[in-house]
Structure 1
């Protein structure tokens, strides 16, 4: 099975998880290339300074200083960056310009003859011509129990809303947002974890679920879990008011 990964060069969480994923993929699954999107935590393209200002304005000084330090540290110790992991395993970086749905970019991806696209932190909406490039389509990792908590930053919202449980869902991508049928889903007890701890925990479980999904697709005969729109909740990026309520609920970012 030829796999192309669609992800972003996240400096905080994804490098070590992509490393785990590559090392533990079944022998018949070959990762033939990876597209690295621009890092965009806000779900849209913004300049580096716009991202910095928005982070400070919404999350405050303590959060800004903590992640600024981690970001700077990552630049001096890039061992866990996604790009470094790809080089470690000789996985080609697929160079594209502009939106991934562009015809020119689809033609580039087509040359890799993918059987499956795997989206991890993909921050673009994939259109049908792109999804049809791969034999089995595209699966995406979402760290929440779909159909609840579709959208951005589910780790923040489940904590703010005092949920007892969250989870991980790997689903087949359609042209909606987190709306496709679910292939693998795992429930996770939140406990007293901070957001950082919850992200680390669910990302690790997410890699295991992606591997399980690849195995199910290879075997065939799997049963899909519904992801009904009438039961969904959707959350966008938090505001400063949401962050204040997060703190009032006694929750921690790290």
Structure 2
């Protein structure tokens, strides 16, 4: 959705290494925002984004207007099932319905053979994987690892809205995920991991934890016990300085 950073550019780098022609889309999609203020404040830096993509060797950039993508009020909605109702879907009602709708449009317009999405939005990746499967899109989906700032904070367009002190404090999210990962790999319980995460986030005094869950990537339902480490993910969301941040780790990369 624009405000490109090194994480986005890593998607392009992966795409260029695996394809003959690369296409990037930049579109701040209104149907995936359940908070109108969040939509209004979302950073828009199109000119800078286009320069970055050109310098990195992107072949085409698709930058439609809202009127082009939604020429009339859309009456079509997508219901992507239980995976879209957990975590982000629960805290941002309708979010993944909007994601599914716009990604379906973009896939139909561009008709790619391969699509590259970041691990940073892990639940979104698996929602799109389901979308591709359910609609029989002839597309191979690739997950690109999360790029991080020096302190470990996951790169995000929303980081531009963080004050420098908040940015430093937000690094606790990654530290909490690493601590939980370590505990779970040492066979500690999910309850113990959650306790440690809550205590670490609470030590900040400024971060407000929205959720920390250990989930199965099959459906993103919270787990009570880790049974399949290969399909287990740790997901966290918190707010600081009025900015909502999410992050995750796969239990085993």
Structure-2-length-normalised TM-score: 0.37
Query: Which gives a bigger RCO, structure 1 or 2 (Cα 8 Å, sep 6+)?
Result: 1
